[in-house]
Amino acid sequence: MHQVDLSTVDLNLLKLFEALVRERSVTQAGLRLGLSQPAASRALGRLRTMLGDRLVVRGKLGLELTPRGEALADPVTRLLEDARSIVSPMVFDPAAATGRITIAAHDHLSLVVLAGLLARLERQAPALSLHIAQPAGDNVRLVEQGGADLALGIFESLPGSLHRRGLYADSLVCVVRSDHPCVADGLSLARYVALRHITVTISGVGQSAVDVALSAMGLTRQVALRVPHFLAGAMLVADSDMILTLPSRLARLLAKRLPLALLDLPLQVAPLSPAMVWHERFHHDPAHVWVRRQLVDVVESFSTVAGTAGATAG
């Protein structure tokens, strides 16, 4: 098959052919493309030379396609439609969307935000599925290497290829079983330190914020058990005399389902700032932009619910 050098081919002439197929008139085809009748006639001459066929000839009802023109009509239409879809801005229709979005998140943020996200997907994008990736430390490398579309967590420094968007502010509270003596007697700093603690270890690197704050006061606590999941820690606390320090939003959620009581943490620890991060390659992708917007809407609804609850309590 003879190979054609595309650099010598004026592909814009195919738009004239498409217009001729529709209009069956050189004049009307030219008007469709913003060309005068003489300019359209000259373009038709170049098109015939390029394709080696007259393509259209005069008939009783206007221009008629030659056999070569008939054979090219559908392929040229498809080619131009594909070209238009390539250069047109991408659009995302949630109702018609399929595929999967992969999110890397430990159970803390999965429990807090994913129920709301799933509810939104069920209503607006029922054929779009979520996959929660196996956690890998802080999940930054997972996002960098393409193992996840975005990650939820508390992040320190990030590589330049990743974007970050804060989700909400949170604080730490303590949870104990609902009939624990501390519920009636109160939780002082001395008693907090004296209790046996369960801690959740995510990355296994560095001290927790609680231990850093205690160390600054010359204090330590007894960690009796380390677990990798917040839910496991909460369930074990519910059946023991131990204490667990959790993000407050998660603690309130778990206390609705487990026999747990919430107590103020008797020391000052910096607020938590969960965020989502994603790679530059997905920054402008319409589907990913839409999913990130849904996550933001979910966490923004937290403050609305909290405000309503506060007004009711007052």
Give tens-digit pLDDT for 10-65.
888 999 999 998 889 999 998 888 899 999 999 999 999 999 999 999 988 789 99
- pLDDT tens figures, 108-140: 888 899 889 999 999 999 999 889 887 777 789
What is the fold of 97-166+275-313?
D-Maltodextrin-Binding Protein; domain 2 (3.40.190)
Q: Hey, do 97-166+275-313 and 172-264 end up sharing a CATH topology, with the first three levels equal? A: yes
- pLDDT of 61 reads 78
- pLDDT of 306 reads 45
Q: Is residue 276 over pLDDT 70?
A: yes
- For CA atoms 82, 88, 91, 95, give the dihedral sign: negative
Q: 172-264 belongs to which CATH class?
A: alpha beta
Q: Is residue 307 over pLDDT 70?
A: no
| pTM of the complete model | 0.69
Write down the CATH number for the domain with range 6-87. Answer: 1.10.10.10
What DSSP line would sit under 23-79, residue for residue?
A: H--HHHHHHHHT--HHHHHHHHHHHHHHHTS--EEEETTEEEE-HHHHHHHHHHHHH
Residue 311 — pLDDT band, cuts 50, 70, 90? very low
- pLDDT tens figures, 151-174: 999 888 899 999 999 999 999 999
Helix (H) or strand (E) holding 254: helix 248-255
3-state secondary structure of 295: helix
Pairwise CA distance, residues 175 & 219, whole Å: 20
CB proximity list for 276: less than 8 A, separation 6 or greater: 150, 151, 152, 164, 165, 167, 292, 295
Average pLDDT, the chain: 88
| Other C-beta atoms lying within 10 Å of the C-beta of residue 288 | 18
For the chain, what are the domain ranges? 6-87, 97-166+275-313, 172-264
